[in-house]
Amino acid sequence: MRPKTEKHEKLEHGVRIRLTKLEKRLLLKRCQKEGYRTMSDFCRAKLVKNREIRKIEVSEDFVQITKKLDYELNKIGVNLNQVSKNINAQQVHQFGPSDREVFLKVLKELRNCFSVLQKYMDVIE
């Protein structure tokens, strides 16, 4: 048998909100993903209770490496934008073997950057 709930802990007041079907589905999915038994428990935890703030401390090396990766990824993005602009500006879209080789190198470099970033994200989590 469940113990009696104290008077000050009784949940006797309600709040009603309106959601679209999609919003409700997403809310239910998030409730389940985060391990809440009910949508009410989830809403109380997110709206009323104090949020847990986790502070992550990282080394200075990590900060420098992350800044360098961010800079390099930004440069790659700028280059890709320039390539796509030139391709879209021309009438003929024929790639030669050298173009394919450059694109494969860029793709390989992007994958390397992603794997390094993923490694650091795994350490943080």
Domain chopping of the chain, boundaries = 14-47, 60-124
Amino acid at 72: E
pLDDT at 77 over 80: yes
Structure tokens at 109: 């470099």
**pLDDT-derived band at 43, boundaries 50, 70, 90:** confident
Average pLDDT, the chain: 82
Mean pLDDT, residues 97-124 = 81
| Dist CA 66 CA 116 (whole Å) | 9
Mean pLDDT, residues 91-105 = 78
pLDDT at 19 over 60: yes
Output helix, strand, coil percentages for the chain, rounded to the nearest 5.
65, 0, 35
pTM flag (> 0.75): no
Question: How long, in residues, is the chain?
Answer: 125
How many angstroms separate the Cα of 85 from the Cα of each of 5, 81, 90, 97, 109? Answer: 66, 6, 9, 20, 21
Structure tokens at 2: 């469940």
